[in-house]
Amino acid sequence: MFRFFAIRVLRAVLTVALVVTFAFIVLRLSGDPARSIMGDDASPEAMTAFRREWGLDQPLWMQYFHYFAAIFEGELGRSMRGGVPALDLVLERIPATLMLTLPAFLMKLAIGIPAGVYAALYRDSVIDRAVMVTAVAGYTVPSFVLGLVLVQLLAIWVAWLPTGGTGGLQHLILPIITLGVGGAAVLARFVRSAMLEVLGQPYIRAASAKGIPWASVVRGHALPNAAIPTVTIVGFMVGNLIAGSVVVESVFSWPGVGNLLVVSVAARDLAVVQSILLLVAAAMVFSNLIVDFLYGVLDPRLANGNTGGDH
Amino acid sequence: MSNFSLTRRQLIATGVASLLAASGTPFARALAAERKTLKIGMSGFPPAVEPVLYAHTATRRIAPQMFDTLIAFDQTPEMGLRPGLAERWERVDGKSLRLLLRKGVTFHDGGPFTAEDVAFSFSPEHLLGPDMAGKVTAMQTMDTIAKVVIVDSHTVIVHAKADDALLEKRLASWGSEIVSKRAFEAAGSWDAWTAAPVGTGPYRIVSQTLDVEVKLAAHDSYWGGLPPFSGIHFRVIPELASRMNALLAGEVDFITDIAPDMFAEIEKHPELEVTGGPVQNIRYLAIDATGPVLEKVGVRRAMSLGLDRKALVQALWQDRLPIPNGFQFPSFGEAYIEDFPALAYDPDLARKLLAESGYNGETITYKLLNNYYPAQVSGAQIMVEMWRAVGINVEIQMMENFAQIQTKPVHAIYDSSSTAIFPDPLAHAWREFGPKGTLPKGSIWKNEEYFGLGEKLKESADPQARRSIIRRMLEIVDRDDPPCVILHGSGQFYGKRKDVAWAPGQTLDLNFGPFNAAHTQN
């Protein structure tokens, strides 16, 4: 068991280091923060002073070394735009993002799981087809299109809700719906597929043949076994809570981490982008660790390194 | 030599409004109470609202509400000068200007405006920015200022380092805004100062939230009269479609940076209108003249002659943008060469020049950003077809940002634009093509004759001598050794509610104060 988790923790640390290194190289090679932040009309002297101030005039390897050395001291650098510590800037935005992503996450679970289970239990029925058509539509329509359509309908035509920005609970409704619909559709499809696979297993037929009521078979045998693939996708959604709303935050001008990421990438505000990526990678890795742990709980054979396949 | 341009009507209106505002009479209070907060959806957040630090578009949209200059541009197409914080001014000699400052002006914090504030605003401590490191945009216009001598509490003499025919214009341009010395010192640091800088402008800062909003409130004791709005709420809405939606839903009164394909949609709504127009900026294609094909002058000229700019502007901008005659604007006044030939569309001459240059259809790369400038990609596609028609083979290569485009060797053409920071070639073409300009600094073009002429121009105060220098410089850029292909003038277009009284100016600056033409002309 210890080895199981030790390997995963080591793998997680390596993943975060790779993500940060990749982001460092790509961002530094693909854009010039001085031009992005100082603007088109800045003089070459001002640009030079900017690069000197932020150490951008040093060789790439030296910048990389300083960056990593600072990380080990718990220092993620300062925003070139605001001058404030990058991590503070990112942490300030997390509550705003969670105000969207947490309710949207609950919405995904509340709609996606029952819809998927129901569709699987009534396979090929009208309900199944209706759920799947809706799920495919929800899955394939890009969130920015759905967001703009909702704004057109509910904010401009009937003027019930604001088009974006912050201010009150009413500002949350459209972004949450936009985020939740796509995720619920994905989850419904996964759950249906997992349930169908489980429902076709011999042990389900055996339990049913023993005369156990169908509802108990579903609750006691089908749902727990279908939970493993479902936990995987739910874990991914948890990992996405911090930065999974980039597009929706842009469409609704919501001041969260996603919006900060877009603006910071455009401005090549390197410390901020790297802080966000570090947090996102850490969140994703942490949620994967939890998922791995849950695998072990849901199916102890996995934790023991024994899938039972050869028996 | 003094210079005034306030009309009598403006002067009376300004005086009456100032008196009313200052008097606190019931009428003035009623007038103030009737005003509404103006809500603006704009595309980006300013890196700072301190104008010496940045000339960023977002900064220039907010700074004019908060700060005044000693002399101001009247924002008519002629870009004439009008009194600002200086009531009048006169030349002492070729490099010195005496300015008589307006009395009774107060800063946002209630402190009085005096000569001390002028001296501080133009001092290295302020103009060179944090730690006096020079990480500022102000020095591109203010670097010729040597010192400010305080004559008395409301008289100063500004000395340039050498004879400077453009000193008055510099004192009206970006980076010359006056700040409160007392408030700056009280702030204690640049960080604290830029969080809430203090000027004399018609609006004072209330709050700013990074990437979200900037809120201003009316400075009711403004010397120029009662500000037309009780406050201004700049909301950052980066997505164009979202800005449009906010305008259509009535959540904002005014939006910036609208694309031409949205004009019709806005004008469908009777309560909305499209406003704005040309600004003092030229859109051009920079050329790497050191590349294997583009080093030939004939090829560069052919690229210009092969473009039907009239059709381009008609198709993309509904004919709302001008096509300049050379790299200049009529607002340059005596420095404008009005008889300089218009940019020609001559496919036959283009083909002839290509043949003479030995051009055999080699690929010319066009490094293109994805609509960094409005309608940029569709414009590029149209131009590629126009060039194809005269036999030039141009291939588009998409790029993400300017750093990628300017990675050496460039060996390509790419889009750029140039703002006239004040109306003169030295604040425009020279900033692009002079030895410290964008193109020579990028090592993609140089011309020693051009550089020499520019140095002469800087030293010359005689209008006729300047004109002959400028004419030759225009010829080099247009014909003899083109560093670029001039496309057209740039525009700034806005969507707004018709009941918001506001008129556009000639620059990127927005002015919502009492000196906006919509108020001074009524």
DSSP codes joined into one string, A167-183: SSTHHHHHHHHHHHHHH
- Are B98 and B157 in contact by the 8 Å Cβ rule? The answer is yes
Residues 6+ apart with CB under 8 A from A249: A97, A100, A175, A255, A256, A257, A258, A259, A262
CA-CA distance, A192 to B193, in Å (whole number)?
Answer: 59
CA-CA distance, B150 to B157, in Å (whole number)?
Answer: 7
A253 contact residues in B (CB cutoff 8 A): 235-239, 242
B133 touches chain A (CB under 8 A): yes
* CA dihedral over A103, A104, A109, A113, signed as positive or negative: positive
A45 vs B139: CB contact, 8 Å cut-off? yes
User: Of the candidates A37, A148, A253, which has its C-beta nearest B236's C-beta?
Assistant: A253
CA-CA distance, B446 to B451, in Å (whole number)?
Answer: 8
Task: Name the more confident of A291 and B207.
Answer: B207
B403 contact residues in A (CB cutoff 8 A): 30-32, 35, 268
A36 touches chain B (CB under 8 A): yes
- What is the three-class DSSP state of B280? strand
Mutating which of A27, A30, A37, A43 best tests the B interface, going by the most B Cβ atoms within 10 A? A43
* CA dihedral over B123, B129, B134, B139, signed as positive or negative: negative
B251 contact residues in A (CB cutoff 8 A): 162-163, 165
Task: Write out the E strands in B228-354.
Answer: 231-236, 254-255, 272-287
The pLDDT tens digits for A30-55 are 777 887 777 666 777 778 888 888 88
CA-CA distance, B201 to B199, in Å (whole number)?
Answer: 6
DSSP B55-97: --HHHHHHHHHH---SEEE--STT--EEESSEEEEEEEETTEE
Q: How far is CA A273 from CA A78, A247, A277, B456, in A?
A: 11, 16, 6, 47
- Are A119 and A184 in contact by the 8 Å Cβ rule? The answer is no
CA-closest candidate to residue B42, choices B229, B200, B242:
B242
CA-CA distance, B253 to B497, in Å (whole number)?
Answer: 5
A251 touches chain B (CB under 8 A): yes
Mutating which of B234, B401, B508 best tests the A interface, going by the most A Cβ atoms within 10 A? B401
User: What pLDDT shows up at residue B522?
Assistant: 57
User: What pLDDT shows up at residue B30?
Assistant: 61
Beta bridge partners of B231: B37, B217
User: What pLDDT shows up at residue A232?
Assistant: 85
Ordered by where they begin, the domains of chain A are 2-85 (no CATH), 94-255 (1.10.3720.10)
The residue behind tokens 């390596």 is A14
A156 vs B246: CB contact, 8 Å cut-off? no
B245 vs A81: CB contact, 8 Å cut-off? no
User: What pLDDT shows up at residue B339?
Assistant: 96
CA-CA distance, B508 to B489, in Å (whole number)?
Answer: 13
| Sheet with B86-93, side-by-side order of all strands | B86-93, B96-101, B155-160, B145-152
User: What pLDDT shows up at residue A303?
Assistant: 61
| Closest residue, chain A, to B248 (C-alpha) | A156
Q: How many CB atoms lie within 10 A of CB A15?
A: 15
CA-closest candidate to residue B364, choices B423, B425, B412:
B412
CA-CA distance, B243 to B254, in Å (whole number)?
Answer: 9
The pLDDT tens digits for A53-106 are 888 888 888 888 888 888 878 788 888 887 789 999 999 999 999 999 999 999
Shortest distance, CA A135 to any CA of chain B (angstroms) = 26
Phi/psi-derived region of residue B377, left when phi > 0, alpha when psi is between -120 and 50, beta in every other case: alpha
- What is the three-class DSSP state of A120? helix
B191 contact residues in A (CB cutoff 8 A): 83
| End-to-end C-alpha distance for chain B, whole angstroms | 30
User: What pLDDT shows up at residue B59?
Assistant: 93
Interface of B with A in 244-273 (CB under 8 A): 245-246, 248-251
B242 vs A251: CB contact, 8 Å cut-off? yes
Q: Classify residue B179 by its DSSP letter.
A: -
The pLDDT tens digits for A102-152 are 999 999 999 999 999 999 999 889 989 998 999 888 888 888 899 999 999
A31 contact residues in B (CB cutoff 8 A): 400-401, 403-404
Q: How far is CA A272 from the centre of its chain?
A: 18
CA-closest candidate to residue B304, choices B339, B344, B356:
B344
CA-CA distance, B431 to A246, in Å (whole number)?
Answer: 38
**Average model confidence (pLDDT) for chain A?**
85
CA-CA distance, B450 to B435, in Å (whole number)?
Answer: 9
Task: Write out the E strands in B210-255.
Answer: 213-218, 231-236, 254-255
- Are B235 and B252 in contact by the 8 Å Cβ rule? The answer is yes
A43 contact residues in B (CB cutoff 8 A): 137, 139-140, 431, 436
The pLDDT tens digits for B231-247 are 999 999 988 999 999 99
Burial of A96 (0-12, 13-18, 19+ CB in 10 A): buried
Q: Between A86-121 and A170-199, two packed helices, what is the crossing angle to 10 degrees?
A: 50
Q: Per 3-state DSSP, what percentage of chain A is helix, strand, and coil (rounded to 5)?
A: 75, 0, 25
pLDDT block averages, 10 residues each, chain B of length 522: 44 49 54 86 91 90 97 93 97 96 98 98 94 83 94 97 93 96 96 95 95 96 96 94 94 94 93 96 96 95 98 94 96 95 96 96 95 90 97 94 86 94 94 92 95 93 94 97 97 96 94 93 62
User: Of the candidates B134, B174, B249, which has its C-beta nearest A159's C-beta?
Assistant: B249
Beta bridge partners of B278: B491
A30 contact residues in B (CB cutoff 8 A): 400-401, 403-404
A250 touches chain B (CB under 8 A): yes
B236 touches chain A (CB under 8 A): yes
- Are A144 and A262 in contact by the 8 Å Cβ rule? The answer is no
Spell out the SS3 assignment of B90-123.
Answer: EEEECCEEEEEECCCCECCCCCECCHHHHHHHCC
CA-closest candidate to residue B297, choices B306, B307, B289:
B289
- Are B94 and B124 in contact by the 8 Å Cβ rule? The answer is no
DSSP element (H, E) containing B500: none
User: What pLDDT shows up at residue A311?
Assistant: 37
Q: How far is CA B478 from the centre of its chain?
A: 23
Q: Per 3-state DSSP, what percentage of chain B is helix, strand, and coil (rounded to 5)?
A: 35, 20, 45
To the question of pTM greater than 0.80 for the whole model, the response is yes
| Closest residue, chain B, to A32 (C-alpha) | B403
Q: Classify residue A85 by its DSSP letter.
A: B
A42 vs B441: CB contact, 8 Å cut-off? no
Q: Which two tokens stand for residue B171?
A: 């004192």
B238 vs A255: CB contact, 8 Å cut-off? no
User: What pLDDT shows up at residue B210?
Assistant: 86
The residue behind tokens 């509610």 is B497
User: Of the candidates B57, B174, B211, which has its C-beta nearest A263's C-beta?
Assistant: B211
Chains A, B: CB pairs < 8 Å: 124
| Sheet with B37-42, side-by-side order of all strands | B203-209, B213-218, B231-236, B37-42, B254-255, B484-497, B272-287, B413-419, B364-369, B394-399
Beta bridge partners of A125: none
CA-CA distance, B281 to B329, in Å (whole number)?
Answer: 9
CA-closest candidate to residue B245, choices A175, A248, A152:
A152
B249 vs A162: CB contact, 8 Å cut-off? yes
